[in-house]
Chain A
Amino acid sequence: MARFLARRLIHAVFVVWGVVTVVFFILRLTGDPAAFLVDQTATREEIAHARHLLGLDRPLYAQYLDFITSVPRGDFGLSIQQRRPALPIVLEHLWPATAELALAAIVLATVLAIPLGVVAATHRNGALDHLSRLGSLFLQSMPSFWLGLMLILVFAVALGGLLPAFGSGSLRHLILPALTLAAAPLAQNVRLIRSGLLEVLQQDYVRTARAKGLAERGVVYRHALRNAAGPFLTVTGLSLGFMLSGTLVIETVFSWPGLGRLMVQAVPGRDFPVIQAAVVVFAVLFVAVNLIVDVVHGLVDPRARVA
């Protein structure tokens, strides 16, 4: 287990290093990062001055070393729009707004998926199974932000403001964006739990549990579901990536004051320190969650430790 942990940890650190390197080079795709790091109204002299101040007139490897050593210290430079360090701004938007939204969505996508997946599996090829298949297909085929717009149209416009269309601050504000963000992972989870259960329900220990007279509910929830959880856990970790992408559009739709909306709003203002910090934070979150999922999976199931 210790070796497994160490290997996974080294791998995660490597990936984060790669991420920071990619972020360093994104800004240099056009050749002149200075143009992105100063105010758009800056004169040529001001840009030249900034280039010198930011060390952009030094050789590329020196700049890279500089960047790769400042990032671990949390130094992404000053936000161009707010004129204060970029990372704290990013973290203020991540916590609590985006964390709240993402956690609510993960809980919804998991808690609703378990009974729906069980019903689909136990009524295999029945009407309920087909209905859940159709529902999943539809939810996975629509852009999440459009689902959000339609929910607003129904709950905020047609039903006369039953739920608020935008803003944050109360549980009622959280409902629509969390539902929207949860929709696609929910659809995926239901199908996963169903196929996982169907596989597990054919195993010998399930037959044994049935043979000893356990009620079907006990067989499904106590024995089968627990063993179908491994792949489900892994996919939940991966689907966080889609969810993080989802926050960009969904926070924009619902004017949710989180990291996704911050990043989107930083683009027209060309606030590159904020964009860079946001990209790194998004990627680190993703790597960290998948590391945790792997470790938990490894703790629960020794077979997972070899991978």
Chain B
Amino acid sequence: MAQASYPDELLYHPEHDWARIDAADPALATLGITWYAQDALGEVVFFDPPAVGTTLAKDASYAEVESVKAVSDVIAPLSGEIVEVNEALSENSAMINEDPYGEGWLVKVRLSEPSERDSLMDAATYRATLAG
């Protein structure tokens, strides 16, 4: 994805992570990194997915993504327990660059504190932080 994009239906964390709350189940969220994060990182060459069942604490690192040059922590925008990881990324981590909000999702999480979503930013607010 060459152009910056921040879909309106997502929630954003200042460490450049997004969360998509499941439409049918407000305690289930899909997480990933934003266009800005993948662009800053460059081509992702390795994603080591955490195990299903791993507990996530909001604002703490739960995984690492690596580009050729650097390794970067992935910060949890919300707390919960991992129920699914994107196994396809271990074979094709470049999807994180090509489709950060779609095929490049990282994990699905059963939220332990669904109300934490209120602390996240909407797309317009997140975009404004990048402009600064």
**Does B bind A?**
no
- List the interface of chain A (C-beta within 8 A of B): none
